[in-house]
């Protein structure tokens, strides 16, 4: 029979084990080499502790970075781009990669369509002639490379610009909503699940698992 303190500790470590099960499909230090593209940077990524940190700052930045990236028209290269951005902005890699699953073969079409409408609306609202901007760039490419770019390709450049702008806006909005939800949930979790005082025998175990504790009081430091 557990003492009251022992029961609290068991519940605490059970929550840690549950989070580990949730994260199993995501790239972790031990499994990073199994993922295409990511495996090329596995050794470098393992040495950067902030990529695996669940402190509040790293999580919030990752929510913004991952949300914006998943809305951008970069489908197919998101994991590799996500790793580079996580290293650049010093945030949690697993959160960034998890958000890339939002854009998949089923959702990517509607997402890009929404991006285009938002981007096109903003360009028209601010009276920005995107067509003229893209045409100037295309003329420069034609003059420099000595090639003729067809009308279809010119249209593609225009659409890509509007989709990218819309993706930045919608991605930032999603990141804001997720970060707000996360901070509210973290605050509530800390109030209802105080971290138990650990016995000396548990100290080594807690040191190994501390980075995977969600919404812990350590995160608010």
Q: Cβ contacts of residue 117 below 8 Å, gap of 6+?
A: 166
The answer to the question of residue 114 being in a domain is no
Count of structural domains within the chain: 1
CA angle 23, 82, 75 (to 5 degrees): 100
Task: Please state the pTM of the whole predicted model.
Answer: 0.72
**Which residues constitute the domain of residue 81?**
4-105+170-220
List, for residues 119-164, the tens digit of each pLDDT value: 989 988 877 655 554 555 555 555 555 455 556 666 777 788 899 9
What residue has token string 């016995």?
199
Angstrom distance (rounded) from CA 114 to CA 173? 13
The answer to the question of residue 136 being in a domain is no
Write down the pLDDT at residue 23.
72
The mean-pLDDT minimum among 6-20, 92-106, 114-128, 153-167 falls in 6-20
Among 219, 215, 208, 198, residue whose Cα is nearest residue 10: 198
The answer to the question of residue 87 being in a domain is yes
Query: Could you tell me what percent of the chain has a pLDDT over 90?
Result: 36
The answer to the question of residue 111 being in a domain is no
Among 185, 171, 179, 184, residue whose Cα is nearest residue 100: 171
The answer to the question of residue 183 being in a domain is yes
Would you tell me the crossing angle of helices 56-71 and 78-89 to the nearest 10 degrees? Answer: 140
The answer to the question of residue 68 being in a domain is yes
The answer to the question of residue 144 being in a domain is no
The answer to the question of residue 214 being in a domain is yes
When pLDDT is cut at 50, 70 and 90, the band that residue 103 belongs to is: very high
């Amino acid at each position: 029979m557990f003492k009251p303190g022992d029961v609290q500790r068991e519940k605490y470590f059970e929550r840690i084990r549950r989070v580990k099960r949730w994260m199993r499909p995501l790239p972790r230090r031990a499994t990073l080499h199994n993922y295409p593209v990511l495996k090329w940077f596995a050794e470098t990524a393992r040495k950067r502790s902030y990529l695996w940190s669940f402190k509040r700052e790293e999580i919030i930045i990752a929510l913004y970075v991952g949300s914006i990236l998943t809305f951008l028209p970069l489908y197919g290269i998101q994991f590799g781009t996500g790793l580079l951005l996580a290293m650049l902005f010093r945030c949690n890699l697993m959160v960034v990669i998890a958000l890339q699953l939002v854009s998949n073969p089923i959702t990517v079409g509607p997402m890009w369509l929404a991006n285009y409408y938002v981007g096109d609306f903003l360009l028209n609202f601010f009276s920005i002639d995107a067509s003229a901007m893209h045409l100037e760039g295309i003329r420069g490419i034609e003059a420099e490379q000595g090639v003729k770019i067809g009308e279809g390709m010119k249209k593609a450049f225009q659409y890509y610009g509007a989709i990218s702008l819309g993706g930045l806006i919608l991605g930032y909005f999603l990141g804001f909503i997720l970060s707000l939800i996360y901070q509210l949930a973290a605050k509530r979790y800390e109030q209802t699940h105080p971290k138990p005082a650990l016995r000396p025998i548990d100290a080594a175990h807690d040191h190994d698992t501390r980075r995977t504790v969600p919404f812990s009081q350590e995160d608010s430091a």
